[in-house]
């Protein structure tokens, strides 16, 4: 061991060597241990994303990639009406979905955190279980529910509310929003629940003590303090849903096609990787900007509420 | 207001749970319906759709593929997760937060972006698309889940337990075998089950990276085009649902027991 | 207890970057001694204990246990065992399995192992609880299991890291007595780390008081309490009145001082006294000042006026202003003669023994 060797070294050198070793040990041990996972993420996530960004500035001629720098792909992505519309629709859908999931999730997270008692764990488990089942299957079940011969139509006809099956339920934006809202529910409940759990309950008692009624103490104490959870929930739903592929494909119809379907087409039938890459980068950039804007807006509005 | 809340919140909570579970319930219901059209009232009960499943070679192939991919992804992502979770919970080092953020990033990225990035790179590196490329992708998205489960398991682990073991004369390996492993085993098993479930149900990455070999979700996707095949898909979907549900429940039970033992509450999966 | 040194700490320094957690410590702990490392948090006492156990290594200097240098010897090869502050009871093992944990390595035959576990459990009054689960124990029981688990190894030195800090006051006092009794029964060297001065005074043969990585004084409890070497030690061990004094004469082991309130005093020269200072500090503990009633006379006395009175049940604390002293004196008196009835504002005379006045290096 090094300590044994140091016994024989002159003191000054021993001290310097030791200090260096000590400073390094924590740093290097931790880093060495995490490096396989870190390397994996670098090689299979960071490097690929850099390659995608690079591709977005190139062009493709049949099967060969032309590596001359060009902004042509971005021009197409941003000005071609079809892509512009798809991007806009994707943003609107992801905005609606994240809004609805958070609005629906907040009360349930609040209920579990403040009234869950000993059963908090069971409630959380109940909420996360459907999430673990196949996403594909959950989308499929909405198709079964909303379809022309589906559960909802046959149910409504059975009750005599409508005479013939409605086609308005499936293959449109609404169907996409409903399906996605359902699919991402657990993702919104958890961060909000965690931030509510972190609130020191004596803060609420202090607010009562200082004369706040239930509504005011919710708006002035609970809501601002749970804002990080709300923001996390919004982001965690908004960013992935903007690039959803399965839902629009299965329940969206012509009316509900989203940008991911266009991206997929560039990597499939159309085989234009650079354009697909540019569409991906544009989508990420736009959704990140939108998310950032919403975060700022939320922070600003809760500051006003105080 | 308070009364209003305490009366209506439980009702809301109940309705929310119904909203979460209702769509999923229709899969098993229509999978035992004699008619191929998913419609109420049911035309009759049958198990024929289930009986047909083992006679479909393509399905059996897909199931076998899913099993291989799932086991490989679960083991590898758990090993990588163990390294990272141990480093995060035990050591403080520069870049810890940033590296952790990067490892967890696939959780919040649109899957299609992850999928196409991997596709471009793997193809340019000369890999042909196969189950192996699917495994590579699945490891990437399973690691965040493994990490979450493992970190919460490792956090309840008091560092002085290992010191106590060394103090009582046990070697580094002996300490690992007699103290560390039994204490973190539940988290590791939990991580294996959870990542297997994620891989089993994952569609997008498999869709882009699988080449000609289909996994179960890819098989289902292929069958969805044919209305007549729907009941079979529903039956298969029901089995997948039940399988996922069982795996996740077992994982949660194991994790909870361990948490109670180490008196470390919190850190539920996800 | 023998005079043979069991632990030798020689010029041990432990630094983290530029911060020195332990600064050139020298210490010799005897075989069979109950030794305490006492000081506020961050004084380096735990660092020193962990270096003796082998969980940490000196930046420079060396540690000897029973004559053997410990450099390069890992914690699991050292003849020491530790009772951890958190107790570190293995939660996946029951009480018996916890206690026999270290014995498993020794490959004893089953009967011998069982006998030693039972003996250890008996020593800590946990007889018959071997099958109890680790999570079903109370705080006091956990502490006893930790103790049995270490004792069963028959270490040369038992290290105790704040073992009583997690217990409530009553249990803590009971355990102090039990630990002391146990140490005397087994005759093993005990090293106790604590920040509680009463705990150290009640249990130890000798105490090392530490501040800021340095050892300030090593002595028996009575000496530490009555003749603290520095103001810092005096303060940490309990209340003390400090009086400024001018040095009149230094004569070998004694020193003669002139004070305003107490007059001319000749007392033992403090250990760290350099001899070139013109003034120093004299200290006297509040209980060493005695209220003189009515016509009662004492050979040495000071007179003053009561300015505050605080009642503490069995004792009363009086704050007495004395002419010539910049700070009033604090006096504690038992209540059996009616010290709790002395009115604020009353003139008062206080008797003292000049031996109770201690000269201190600042």
The candidate with the shortest Cα–Cα distance to C326, out of C282, C264, C358, C287, is: C282
Pick out chain C residues at pLDDT < 70.
1, 271-278, 362
* Residue B149 Cα distances to B156, B259, B269, C214, angstroms: 12, 11, 6, 44
Q: Which of C77, C135, C150 sits opposite B263 (nearest CB)?
A: C135
Q: CB–CB of B169 and C54 under 8 A? A: no
In a domain, residue A224? The reply is yes
For testing the chain B interface, which of A30, A192, A260 should be mutated: the one with the most B CBs within 10 Å?
A30
- Write down how long chain B is: 270
Torsion of CA C96, C99, C103, C104, to 10 degrees: 50
Q: CB–CB of B103 and A38 under 8 A? A: yes
Per-residue pLDDT at A13: 38
Task: Give chain A positions within 8 Å (CB) of C74.
Answer: 1
For testing the chain C interface, which of B156, B165, B167 should be mutated: the one with the most C CBs within 10 Å?
B167
Task: Give chain A positions within 8 Å (CB) of B151.
Answer: none
Buried b (16+ CB within 10 A) or exposed e, A76-103: bbeeeeebeebbebbbebbbbbbbbbbe
A186 in B contact zone (CB under 8 Å): yes
**Structure token pair of residue B90:** 């035990």
Confidence of residue A6 (pLDDT cuts 50, 70, 90): very low
Q: Which of A190, A214, A283 sits opposite B2 (nearest CB)?
A: A214
Instruction: Please provide residue C340's backbone torsions phi and psi, each rounded to the nearest 5 degrees.
Output: -75, -5
Q: How many domains does chain A have?
A: 2
pLDDT tens, position by position, A214-266: 888 888 888 888 998 999 999 989 998 998 998 998 888 888 889 999 899 88
Q: How many domains does chain B have?
A: 1
Three-state DSSP class for C164? Answer: coil
Contact B151, B89 (CB under 8 A): yes
Q: CB–CB of A33 and B16 under 8 A? A: no
A9 in C contact zone (CB under 8 Å): no
In a domain, residue A155? The reply is yes
Q: Which helix (H) or strand (E) holds B269?
A: none
**Structure token pair of residue B220:** 């289902």
For residues A31 and A38, give the distance between their C-alpha atoms in angstroms, rounded to a whole number.
9
The reply to whether A235 and A280 lie within a common domain is yes
For testing the chain A interface, which of C70, C71, C74, C77 should be mutated: the one with the most A CBs within 10 Å?
C71
Task: Give chain B positions within 8 Å (CB) of A242.
Answer: 110
The reply to whether A204 and A98 lie within a common domain is yes
For residues C30 and A111, give the distance between their C-alpha atoms in angstroms, rounded to a whole number.
62
The reply to whether A51 and A96 lie within a common domain is no
Contact C46, C38 (CB under 8 A): no
pLDDT at A9 over 50: no
Residue B161's CATH number: 1.10.3720.10
A128: nearest CA in chain B? B270
* Residue A20 Cα distances to A5, A17, A28, B138, C260, angstroms: 15, 5, 11, 40, 55
Q: What is the DSSP code (8-state) at residue C162?
A: S
In a domain, residue A75? The reply is no
B22: nearest CA in chain A? A141
Residue B144: HSE in the Cβ half-sphere, 13 Å Cα cutoff: 17
Confidence of residue B12 (pLDDT cuts 50, 70, 90): very high
Per-residue pLDDT at B4: 67
The reply to whether A9 and A149 lie within a common domain is no
Contacts with A139 (C-beta within 8 Å, 6 or more apart), sequence order:
A179, A183, A246, A247, A250, A251
Match 């971005």 to its residue by tokens.
A74
pLDDT at A15 over 60: no
Match 């850099």 to its residue by tokens.
A50
The reply to whether A120 and A44 lie within a common domain is no
Q: CB–CB of A3 and C62 under 8 A? A: no
For residues B185 and B157, give the distance between their C-alpha atoms in angstroms, rounded to a whole number.
12
Per-residue pLDDT at A70: 86
Strand partners, B151: none
Residue A228's CATH number: 1.10.3720.10
Q: Which of C17, C62, C72 sits opposite A23 (nearest CB)?
A: C17
Strand partners, C329: C320
Domain with A42 in it? 2-55
Domain with B142 in it? 56-261
In a domain, residue B97? The reply is yes
Contacts with C116 (C-beta within 8 Å, 6 or more apart), sequence order:
C100, C103, C108, C152
The reply to whether A167 and A247 lie within a common domain is yes
Q: What is the value of ipTM here, to two decimals? A: 0.85
C19: nearest CA in chain A? A19
In a domain, residue B212? The reply is yes
For residues C63 and C206, give the distance between their C-alpha atoms in angstroms, rounded to a whole number.
19
Q: Which of C77, C91, C150 sits opposite B261 (nearest CB)?
A: C91
- What is the distance in angstroms between the CA of the first residue and the CA of the last residue of chain A? 60
A12 in C contact zone (CB under 8 Å): no
Per-residue pLDDT at C319: 94
Q: CB–CB of A133 and B241 under 8 A? A: yes
For residues B221 and B219, give the distance between their C-alpha atoms in angstroms, rounded to a whole number.
5
Q: Write down all domains in chain C, each with its CATH number in brackets.
A: 5-227 (3.40.50.300), 239-360 (2.40.50.100)
Q: Which of B164, B168, B182 sits opposite C92 (nearest CB)?
A: B182
The reply to whether A237 and A92 lie within a common domain is yes
A285 in B contact zone (CB under 8 Å): no
pLDDT tens, position by position, A32-87: 889 999 999 999 999 999 999 999 999 887 777 778 888 888 998 888 899 999 99
* Residue A111 Cα distances to A115, A182, C211, angstroms: 5, 19, 51
pLDDT tens, position by position, B252-269: 888 887 777 665 433 333
Task: Give chain A positions within 8 Å (CB) of B26.
Answer: 141, 144-145, 151
Radius of gyration of chain A (CA): 26
Residue-wise DSSP of C173-217: HHHHHHHHHHHHHH--EEEEEES-HHHHHHH-SEEEEEETTEEEE
In a domain, residue B144? The reply is yes
SS3 content of chain A, % helix, strand, coil (to 5): 80, 0, 20
The reply to whether A45 and A143 lie within a common domain is no
Per-residue pLDDT at C362: 65
For residues C71 and C61, give the distance between their C-alpha atoms in angstroms, rounded to a whole number.
9
Match 């009582």 to its residue by tokens.
B168
For residues A1 and A299, give the distance between their C-alpha atoms in angstroms, rounded to a whole number.
55
Strand partners, C36: C192, C207
Can you tell me the mean pLDDT for B180-197?
Answer: 90
Q: How far is A206 from chain B (nearest CA, A)?
A: 17
Q: Which of C59, C62, C69 sits opposite A19 (nearest CB)?
A: C59
pTM: 0.79
The reply to whether A10 and A152 lie within a common domain is no
The candidate with the shortest Cα–Cα distance to B89, out of B149, B174, B138, B139, is: B149
Name the neighbours of A, counting chains with at least 3 Cβ pairs within 8 A: B, C
Q: How far is C127 from chain A (nearest CA, A)?
A: 36
A115 in C contact zone (CB under 8 Å): no
Per-residue pLDDT at B264: 40
In a domain, residue A243? The reply is yes
In a domain, residue A73? The reply is no
Task: Give chain C positions within 8 Å (CB) of B182.
Answer: 92
A117: burial class by Cβ within 10 Å (0-12, 13-18, 19+)? exposed
Q: Tally DSSP H helices, then E strands, for chain A.
A: 16, 2
Q: How far is A76 from chain C (nearest CA, A)?
A: 57
């Amino acid at each position: 061991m090094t300590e044994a060797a140091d016994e024989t070294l002159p003191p000054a050198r021993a001290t310097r060597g030791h200090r260096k070793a000590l400073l390094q040990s924590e740093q290097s041990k931790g880093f060495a241990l995490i490096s396989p996972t870190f390397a994996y993420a670098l090689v299979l996530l960071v490097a690929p994303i850099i390659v995608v960004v690079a591709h977005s500035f190139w062009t493709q001629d049949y099967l060969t990639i032309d590596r001359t720098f060009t902004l042509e792909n971005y021009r197409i992505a941003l000005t071609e009406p079809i892509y512009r519309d798809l991007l806009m629709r994707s943003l609107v859908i992801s905005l609606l979905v994240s809004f609805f999931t958070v609005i629906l999730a907040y009360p349930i997270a609040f209920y579990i955190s403040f009234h869950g008692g000993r059963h908090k764990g069971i409630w959380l488990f109940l909420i996360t279980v459907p999430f673990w089942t196949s996403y594909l299957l959950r989308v499929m079940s909405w198709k079964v529910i909303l379809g022309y011969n589906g559960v909802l139509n046959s149910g409504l006809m059975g009750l005599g509310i409508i005479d013939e099956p409605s086609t308005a339920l499936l293959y449109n934006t609404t169907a996409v929003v409903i399906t996605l809202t359902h699919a991402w529910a657990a993702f919104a409940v958890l961060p909000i629940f965690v931030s509510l759990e972190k609130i020191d309950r004596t803060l609420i008692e202090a607010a009562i003590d200082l004369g706040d009624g239930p509504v005011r103490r919710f708006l002035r104490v609970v809501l601002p303090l749970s804002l990080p959870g709300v923001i996390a929930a919004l982001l965690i739903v908004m960013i992935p849903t903007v690039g959803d592929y399965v839902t629009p494909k299965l329940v969206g119809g012509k009316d509900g096609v989203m940008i991911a379907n266009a991206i997929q087409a560039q990597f499939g039938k159309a085989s234009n990787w650079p354009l697909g890459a540019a569409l991906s980068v544009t989508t990420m950039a736009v959704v990140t900007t939108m998310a950032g804007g919403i975060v700022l807006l939320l922070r600003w509005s809760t500051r006003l509420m105080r | 207001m308070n009364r209003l809340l305490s009366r209506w919140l439980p009702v809301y909570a109940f309705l929310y749970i119904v909203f979460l579970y209702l769509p999923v319930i229709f899969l098993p219901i229509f999978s035992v319906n004699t008619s191929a059209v998913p419609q109420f009232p049911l035309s009759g009960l049958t198990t024929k759709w289930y009986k047909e499943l083992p006679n479909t070679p393509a399905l059996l192939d897909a199931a076998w593929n899913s099993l291989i991919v799932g086991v490989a992804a679960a083991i590898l992502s758990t090993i990588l997760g163990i390294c990272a979770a141990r480093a995060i919970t035990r050591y403080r080092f520069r870049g810890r937060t940033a590296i952790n953020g990067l490892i967890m990033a696939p959780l919040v990225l649109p899957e299609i972006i992850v999928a196409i990035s991997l596709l471009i790179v793997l193809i340019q590196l000369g890999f042909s698309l196969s189950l192996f490329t699917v495994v590579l992708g699945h490891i990437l998205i399973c690691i965040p889940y493994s990490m979450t489960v493992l970190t919460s398991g490792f956090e309840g682990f008091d560092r002085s337990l290992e010191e106590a073991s060394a103090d009582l004369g046990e070697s580094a390996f002996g300490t690992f075998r007699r103290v560390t492993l039994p204490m973190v085993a539940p988290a590791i098993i939990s991580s294996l089950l959870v990542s297997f479930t994620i891989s089993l149900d994952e569609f997008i990455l498999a869709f882009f990276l699988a080449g000609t070999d289909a996994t179960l979700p890819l098989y289902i996707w292929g069958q969805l085009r044919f209305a007549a095949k729907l009941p079979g898909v529903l039956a298969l979907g029901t089995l997948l649902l039940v399988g996922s549900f069982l795996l996740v429940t077992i994982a949660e039970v194991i994790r909870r027991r361990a948490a109670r033992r180490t008196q470390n509450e919190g850190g539920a999966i996800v | 207890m023998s005079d043979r040194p069991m632990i030798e700490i020689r010029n041990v320094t432990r630094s983290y970057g530029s911060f020195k957690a332990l600064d050139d410590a020298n210490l010799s702990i005897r075989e069979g001694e109950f030794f305490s490392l006492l000081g506020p948090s961050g004084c380096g006492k735990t660092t020193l204990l962990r270096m003796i156990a082998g969980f940490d290594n000196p930046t420079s200097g060396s540690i000897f246990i029973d004559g053997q240098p410990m450099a390069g010897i890992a914690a699991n090869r050292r003849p020491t065992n530790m009772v951890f502050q958190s107790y570190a009871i293995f939660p996946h093992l029951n009480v018996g399995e916890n206690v026999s944990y270290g014995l498993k390595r020794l490959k004893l035959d089953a009967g011998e192992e069982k006998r030693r576990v039972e003996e250890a459990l008996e020593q800590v009054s946990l007889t018959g609880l071997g099958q109890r689960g680790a999570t079903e124990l109370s705080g006091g029981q956990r502490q006893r299991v930790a103790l049995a688990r270490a004792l069963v190894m028959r270490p040369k030195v038992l290290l105790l890291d704040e073992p009583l800090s997690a217990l409530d006051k009553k249990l803590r006092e009971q355990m102090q007595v039990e630990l002391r009794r146990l140490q005397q029964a087994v005759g093993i060297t005990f090293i106790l780390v604590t920040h509680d001065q009463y705990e150290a005074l009640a249990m130890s043969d000798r105490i090392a008081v530490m501040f800021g990585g340095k050892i300030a004084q090593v002595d028996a409890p009575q000496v530490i309490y009555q003749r603290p070497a520095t103001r810092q030690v005096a303060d940490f061990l309990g209340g003390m009145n400090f009086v400024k004094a001018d040095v009149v004469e230094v004569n070998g082991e004694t020193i003669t001082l002139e004070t305003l309130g107490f007059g001319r005093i000749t007392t033992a020269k403090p250990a760290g006294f350099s001899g070139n200072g013109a003034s120093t500090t004299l200290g006297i503990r509040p209980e060493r000042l005695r209220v003189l009633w009515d016509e009662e006379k004492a050979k040495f006395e000071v007179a003053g006026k009561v300015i505050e009175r605080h009642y503490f049940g069995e004792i009363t604390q009086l704050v007495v202003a004395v002419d010539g002293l910049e700070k009033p004196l604090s006096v504690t008196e038992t209540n059996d003669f009616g010290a709790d009835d002395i009115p604020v504002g009353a003139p008062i005379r206080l008797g003292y023994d000049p031996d109770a006045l201690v000269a201190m290096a600042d």
